[in-house]
Structure 1
């Protein structure tokens, strides 16, 4: 994969934005409400599948090597055993899916970007919730049901994440034409 300087800067920018989004949080349980989903979705919409996923890989890699950039100011390899780590894996796949769907249209519109963001959000949940369940049940020894994992790992996040998908679509409709015009 050949990456030019502009791509490196944009990938780094979205990795940094995702890190900042981790610190803007509402702690509500094993996985806090953050702005990470917003920046993950924007990375997919604006950078596309390949670079959007790469930005999230850079973010996760930096956290795994020890920078305290994950939610709650955590970092290091031990975070693999935290309930919320599955969502970080989901960010990579989600950004890729969002980017793929966004790339398939020549005309940028709100509906297409909203559907792409919503699909990416579903992918993040599909990876994050089972991971949360397994870590809580099998690693931490917490007595938790699948229904409880769905409640604490997905249901409480849905309203805010839908709002983030709407914001992503609104921003994407405004930003993408500017980027194309300026050949940024």
Structure 2
């Protein structure tokens, strides 16, 4: 049993070390792959009739991008995802793309993706003790609900002002841009934090 555990720790540490010591070209390739993962997860979608913001799986890609690639390349993966989508790669929700989609109701959430990847990447790189389940779960809660939803709700409010002529009240805004996503996001945060515990070295 100890041999198996030792082998697991060795393999985990070895893989992580190779990722950390990869060349910038290799890390760029990994950032592109993480952008692709975010785009694929964006197609897991549940439209909601009372809000232009759908439930998607893409925030899971955002969380793990910072976790595995660190601050610099985790952020780069989300920048690639956003700019490639603006330039025509159809990997925003519902296989959409273009500047008009980016500047739509979910613009603030896109900006939040970059902030969330930066926070998770910075903390997981600098503080190895943060990679256990409990601490990473707390960190990802902050990244998900503060870094993503605060700019997301601000952007949604501005979009509603320009499209409907008035800012929504706070209850309406929360019901459109936050409340429907809480349960699903807790689930995604839990899985991502579990991956951190299993896949990342703690020292």
Q: Same fold (TM over 0.5)?
A: yes
What does residue range 100-111 of structure 1 map to in structure 2 within 5 Å? 100-107=122-129, 108-111=131-134
Identify unmatched segments of 5+ residues in structure 2: 1-22
Taking the aligned partners of 1:88 and 1:153, their CA distance within structure 2 comes to: 13
* Residue in structure 2 matched with residue 93 of structure 1 by the alignment: 115
* Residue in structure 1 matched with residue 38 of structure 2 by the alignment: 18
Cα offset for 1:99?
1.2
Preserved contact between residue 102 and residue 112 of structure 1 (Cα < 8 Å): no
**Are 1:71 and 2:104 matched, yes or no?**
no
Cα offset for 1:146?
2.5
Taking the aligned partners of 2:101 and 2:26, their CA distance within structure 1 comes to: 31
Preserved contact between residue 158 and residue 167 of structure 2 (Cα < 8 Å): no
Taking the aligned partners of 2:41 and 2:166, their CA distance within structure 1 comes to: 28
Taking the aligned partners of 1:54 and 1:64, their CA distance within structure 2 comes to: 15
Aligned-pair RMSD on alpha carbons?
Answer: 1.9
**How many pairs are equivalent?**
177
Taking the aligned partners of 2:109 and 2:117, their CA distance within structure 1 comes to: 12
| Deviates most, 169-178 or 87-96 | 169-178
1:82 to 83, 100, 104: 104
Q: Structure 2-normalised TM-score?
A: 0.81
Q: Structure 1-normalised TM-score?
A: 0.89
Preserved contact between residue 98 and residue 119 of structure 1 (Cα < 8 Å): no
* Residue in structure 1 matched with residue 168 of structure 2 by the alignment: 144
Preserved contact between residue 128 and residue 201 of structure 2 (Cα < 8 Å): no
| Deviates most, 117-126 or 72-81 | 72-81
* Residue in structure 1 matched with residue 76 of structure 2 by the alignment: 54
Preserved contact between residue 157 and residue 167 of structure 2 (Cα < 8 Å): no
Task: Tell me which structure has the larger Cα radius of gyration.
Answer: 2
Cα offset for 1:144?
2.9
User: 1:110-149 deviations in whole A, cap 9, x for unaligned?
Assistant: 1221122111112100110110111012234367322211
1:134 to 133, 158, 167: 158
Identify unmatched segments of 5+ residues in structure 1: none
Cα offset for 1:74?
1.3
